[in-house]
Structure 1
């Protein structure tokens, strides 16, 4: 299978560098390349604040939309119906395969 032209990793990197250079202001392009080459160390991690964490958890919990009692009931009934149908299908399939295996064993036994 042939590759598309310009899909090699080096071509992709070159396009990304050109795009970054075009989007950066004129004076910042040279400084950005020098800074990228220097690889500054990562900033120190902030200490964990338990109070802020609890506030963020509460804020996220408020975004949860819970299902209604009716939706839960309907979903539970649908799951029960699917379980019954699946069990009937697999029981029937097992019965058919068992008949086939017994038939083959009878034929092999003579």
Structure 2
């Protein structure tokens, strides 16, 4: 049976070393650098919120309508499926109880 390419121990060690290097912090200084906990003033906060709000892309009325209709269809399909399954299980349990009672 032939081995898959890259399944040798040396190849696996090389991949593990590459992954560890990618996950590890860039330097010891980066890991011990203090986190800047400076508070921003309210005006700066409002400016940043408005800048982020401008980046939002809203769906169109047509997209919202289509999505809502699709959700409604899926709800009806799921409800129908579970109704049929419930009827089948209920009939099966009733039949089983009828046989258990000697019936």
Which segments of structure 1 move beyond 4 Å, counting only runs of 4 or more? none
Q: CA deviation at 1:106?
A: 0.7
Larger radius of gyration: 1
Distance 2:36 2:49 in 1: 24
User: 1:84 is matched with which residue?
Assistant: 76
Counterparts of 2:56 and 2:35 in 1: how far apart (Å)? Answer: 34
Unaligned runs of 5+ in 1: 21-31
Secondary structure of 1:5's partner? helix
Scaled by the length of structure 2, the TM-score of the pair is 0.67
Match of 1:109 in 2: 101
**Structure 2 segments unaligned to the other structure (5+ residues):** 1-8
Number of matched pairs = 85
Question: Taking structure 1 as the reference length, what is the TM-score of the superposition?
Answer: 0.63
Residue correspondence of structure 1 range 1-110 to structure 2 within 5 A: 4-5=12-13, 7=16, 12=20, 36=29, 42=34, 45-110=37-102
